[in-house]
């Protein structure tokens, strides 16, 4: 059924995809409102300081690496926002841990081409740069969308706020900038999407949702003078892949991906993982690694704004490619724009930018073609 959009656009989700969509809408002069369930923006992008607070010069508890030479949209976006890259540190030997009973083996690090890059200030710098470009009052934190109903004028979205109360917002179109699987589990639709659509949402893995990251912060990167890159691979764990994550400003740290499955992390608890991870770093990098200034630990499988019951076991990477994410009953009223819906690089930061911009362009083109979306403010 054809329709026209007569009201503002609601963006549900304040991660990179949602912010990229809102940025393009704003630049085109289209009115939008954004709601985000968390009390912070960024979604799976979370750059934290030593106390776990949001930081403009911290450590990436979520995605960190980018490849701007492979992803022109990432380069263009960073240049547009005035952001700078620096290379992932890789000078020195890599360690390989076969068991805890023998000394780790040393190997020369092969130069990666193109090199993995990081954003100065952390991945969160792209989030703060985008948020700073929006008018005040457009973004509402601590607002979790729970249902959407078709109305005569458009759609009505109900969301729950921090004090537990509910509010309704009528809008012309909704961009769901969130993982499809999370959308399927947390949102009630009236009418319900068809079965094939719901199966596609539930069958799409949420990138990073089953994983956990551990960080050990130090006064200095003591491993570098010892000829080590800070990189290591382990067959024993709990950390299976380890890297130097020292910031561009020189704050020293090592991080590792936790290889313990989510259900066992949940049973053992975060403290046990942290203690075992510090002990492992001592085995790899020597006694100095046993006394970090502090540690950070983020279990994404325990984050209800990221992971669902289906994300507790890793099921691979989102497939990518062009897909029909919305059935004909909802196609004119909602757009899916989570990173997993990107045709290229789904789940990654480049995919989030692609998906968010694609959603915005669809609505901008509709304004040009039909002149049905109002201009709320200028460039």
CATH classification at residue 181? 3.50.50.60
d(C-alpha 290, C-alpha 281), whole Å: 7
- Residue 379 counted as domain residue: no
Same-domain pairing of 298 and 217: yes
Cβ neighbours, 10 Å, residue 245 = 24
Domain boundary among 285, 302, 319: 302
Cβ neighbours, 10 Å, residue 370 = 11
Q: Select from 133, 138, 198 the least CA-distant residue to 169.
A: 138
Same-domain pairing of 35 and 184: yes
Domain boundary among 287, 302, 317: 302
Same-domain pairing of 331 and 353: yes
Q: How many domains does the chain have?
A: 2
Q: Collect all residues with Cβ–Cβ distance below 8 Å to 103 and sequence separation of at least 6.
A: none
Q: What is the token pair recorded at 243?
A: 């890297």
Residue 270 belongs to domain with CATH number: 3.90.660.10
d(C-alpha 266, C-alpha 206), whole Å: 19
Domain that holds residue 175: 9-45+126-207+308-370
Same-domain pairing of 141 and 288: no
Q: What is the token pair recorded at 19?
A: 């912010």
- Residue 80 counted as domain residue: no
d(C-alpha 34, C-alpha 201), whole Å: 22
Cβ neighbours, 10 Å, residue 150 = 16
Same-domain pairing of 229 and 297: yes
Domain boundary among 244, 267, 302: 302
pLDDT in 10s for each residue of the chain, 379 residues? 333 334 589 999 999 999 999 999 999 999 999 999 999 999 999 999 999 999 999 999 999 999 999 998 899 999 999 999 999 999 999 999 999 889 999 998 777 788 999 999 999 999 999 999 999 999 999 999 999 999 988 899 999 999 999 999 999 999 999 999 999 999 999 999 999 999 999 999 999 999 999 999 999 999 999 999 999 999 999 999 999 999 999 999 999 999 999 999 999 999 999 999 999 999 999 999 999 999 999 999 999 999 999 998 877 778 888 899 999 999 999 999 999 999 999 989 999 999 999 999 999 998 766 554 443 322 2
Are 177 and 45 in contact by the 8 Å Cβ rule? The answer is: no
**CA 350 to the chain's CA centroid:** 11
Same-domain pairing of 282 and 133: no
């Amino acid at each position: 059924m054809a329709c026209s959009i007569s009201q503002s656009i609601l963006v549900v989700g304040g991660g990179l995809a949602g912010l990229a969509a809102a940025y393009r809408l704003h630049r085109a002069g289209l009115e939008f409102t954004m709601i985000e369930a968390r009390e912070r923006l960024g979604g799976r992008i979370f750059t934290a300081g030593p106390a776990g607070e949001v930081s403009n010069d911290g450590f990436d508890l979520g995605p960190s690496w980018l490849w701007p030479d492979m992803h022109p949209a990432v380069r263009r976006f960073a240049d547009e926002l005035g952001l700078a890259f620096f290379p992932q540190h890789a000078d020195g030997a890599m360690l390989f841990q076969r068991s805890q009973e023998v000394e780790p083996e040393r190997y020369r690090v092969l130069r990666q081409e193109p090199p993995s890059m990081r954003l100065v200030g952390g991945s969160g710098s792209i989030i703060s740069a985008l948020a700073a470009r929006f008018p005040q009052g457009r973004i509402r934190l601590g607002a979790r969308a729970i249902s959407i109903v078709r109305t005569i004028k458009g759609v009505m979205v109900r969301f729950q706020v921090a004090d537990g109360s509910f509010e309704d917002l009528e809008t012309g179109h909704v961009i769901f900038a969130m993982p499809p699987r999370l959308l399927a589990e947390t949102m009630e639709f009236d009418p319900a999407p068809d079965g094939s659509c719901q199966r596609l949402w539930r069958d799409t893995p949420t990138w990073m949702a089953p994983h956990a990251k551990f960080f050990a912060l130090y006064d200095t990167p003591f491993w570098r003078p010892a000829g080590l890159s800070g990189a290591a691979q382990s067959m024993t764990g709990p950390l299976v892949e380890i890297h130097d994550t020292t910031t561009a400003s020189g704050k020293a740290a090592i991080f590792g991906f936790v290889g313990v499955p989510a259900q066992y992390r949940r049973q053992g608890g975060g403290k046990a993982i942290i203690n075992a991870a510090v002990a492992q770093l001592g085995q790899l990098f020597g006694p100095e690694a046993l006394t970090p200034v502090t540690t950070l630990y983020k279990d994404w499988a325990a984050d209800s704004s990221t992971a669902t019951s289906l994300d507790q076991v890793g099921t691979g990477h989102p497939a990518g490619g062009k897909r029909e994410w919305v059935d004909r009953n909802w196609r004119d009223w909602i757009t899916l724009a989570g990173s997993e819906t990107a045709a290229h690089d789904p789940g990654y930061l480049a995919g989030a930018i692609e998906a968010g911009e694609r959603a915005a362009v669809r609505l901008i083109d509709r304004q040009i073609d039909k002149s049905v979306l109002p201009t709320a403010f200028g460039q």
